[in-house]
Amino acid sequence: MLFSEQRKPCEKAIIRLLERVCDPEIPTLSIKDLGVLRDVYVKNDQIEVVITPTYSGCPAMTVIEADIVECLRSNGYGNVVVTTLLAPAWTTDWLSSKGRETLKEAGIAPPSACGNTGATVKKNIECPLCSSKSVALLSEFGTTACKSLYRCNKCLEPFDYFKCH
């Protein structure tokens, strides 16, 4: 999202290529669907790819940068600059609907739309396995910075919840 409509054909082609670059932690989720890929500009011979970090300390960002350069290089684009944009700060609201589906298929409950940081907002979390809405928080922190750990009260399976941010 946030991609402007007025875009050169070559930029559109590059975005299509970059849809192959995935989050190293969730290899089925593309950086475009994750909302990390913000923009692509082509000026003269240089390609600028703009990304925004999910969490300030997310170690995946370095890997994502390298993967972007590698993806474009293997497709014949040598002159690539990856720029990190801090503002506006990334939010889980930028996850595309395809991205949310991908998360669910990977066994991770997608974030409920929040638009703010409050955890006190009423959440609507579903077990990604049995779709029960009766779930309990085990820990605010999960396997990566962006997730918390929940357990389903119905099927009793623990699962990761991609938290609102």
Partner 1 sequence: MNKEFQYVLRMGDNALILGQRMSEWCGHSPFLEEDIAMANCALDHVGRARMLLTHAGVLEQKGRTEDDLAFLRDEREFGNFLMCELPTGDYAFTMIRQYLLDAYHFYLYTELQKSSNNVLVAIAAKALKETTYHVRRSGDWVIKLGDGSEESNQRMQGALDEVWSYTGELFIADEVDDFASAEGIGPTTGLLREYWEAEVLEKLRTAKLTVPNEVWLITGGRDGIHTESMGSLLSEMQFLQRSYPGLEW
| CA dihedral for 137, 138, 139, 145, sign (positive or negative) | negative
Tell me the number of residues near partner 1 by CB under 8 A.
24
| Single-letter code of the amino acid located at 155 | C
Stretch that binds partner 1, among 32-40, 49-57, 67-75, 128-136 (CB under 8 A): 49-57
- Binding-site member from 140, 153, 155, 156 for partner 1 (CB under 8 A): 140
Stretch that binds partner 1, among 16-24, 28-36, 86-94, 121-129 (CB under 8 A): 86-94
Q: Is 165 in the site for partner 1 (CB under 8 A)?
A: yes
Q: Is 156 in the site for partner 1 (CB under 8 A)?
A: no
Count of C-beta atoms within a 10 Å radius of residue 47:
22
- Binding-site member from 2, 19, 55, 81 for partner 1 (CB under 8 A): 55
User: Is-contact 38 91, C-beta < 8 A?
Assistant: no
Cβ-proximal residues to 101 (8 Å cutoff; 6+ apart), any chain? 110
Q: Is 70 in the site for partner 1 (CB under 8 A)?
A: no
Q: Is 113 in the site for partner 1 (CB under 8 A)?
A: no
- Residue 136 C-alpha from the chain's centroid: 24
For residue 145 the two structure tokens come to: 């910075």
**Bridge partner residues of 81 (DSSP):** 48
Interface mask (CB under 8 A) for partner 1, residues 17-46, using x and -?
A: ------------------------------
